[in-house]
Amino acid sequence: MQLGLFSPLYLRKLFERMGATYIKLGQLIASAPTLFPPEYVEEFQKCFDRVPTVPFEEIQSILHDELGTIDSVYEYIDPVSIASASIAQVHGARLKGSSEDVVIKVLKRGIEDILVTDPNFVYIVARILEFLNPELSRASMAFQSIAVCDLLGHLIYSGTRN
């Protein structure tokens, strides 16, 4: 079942182009099979770990800003990411002076500001939920907005702390 003009694939790709806030919304859709048609839930599963990657040069720049000289901490960082999601990108690495391989999760630039300060996010989520599922009443949207705020807070906390 296609909702309105937007196929699941088109809507997911649109969300990815619109950035982190909308990718989080896509993750909400993927996590709500009782609210959305199965083909949307399935397509938006890709928002968890298969979003477009940030160029490795940007990852190096972020690490340099955080650590100073990257070479003082890591002997090697794999330029090919293991995974990329809305908040962070994951790369394999080797610690300096060690044979220990590690995995590093690099928070994408500006993510905290985007997720915390986007004042329209909850309103947009409520409107999209109403559009995608007209059976939801405006009264229930107030409850959904509170749930989205709670979820967003959890996602910000867990995404930046892991």
pLDDT in tens, the chain (162 residues): 555 567 899 989 888 888 877 888 888 889 888 888 899 999 999 988 778 889 999 999 999 998 989 999 999 999 999 988 878 899 999 999 988 999 999 988 887 776 665 556 666 666 677 676 666 655 555 555 556 665 655 555 555 455
> Looking at the structure, do residues 127 and 140 belong to the same domain, yes or no?
yes
Are 43 and 20 part of one and the same domain? Answer: yes
Closest CA to 80 of 100, 56, 102: 56
| Same-domain status, 47 and 120 | yes
Q: How many residues does the chain have?
A: 162
pLDDT tens string 61-99: 999 998 989 999 999 999 999 988 878 899 999 999 988
Residue 2 domain flag? no
Q: Are residues 32 and 103 in the same domain?
A: no
3 inside domain: no
Q: Into how many domains does the chain fold?
A: 2
Judgement on whether residues 72 and 143 belong to the same structural domain of the protein: no
On whether residue 69 sits in a domain, the answer given is yes
- Distance from C-alpha of 73 to C-alpha of 58, rounded to nearest angstrom: 18
Q: Within this chain, do residues 68 and 101 fall inside the same structural domain, yes or no?
A: yes
User: How high is the mean pLDDT of the chain?
Assistant: 79
CB 78 within 8 A of CB 104: no
Other Cβ atoms less than 10 A from the Cβ of 87: the count is 23
For residues 70 and 42, membership in a common domain is answered with no
pLDDT at 49: 72
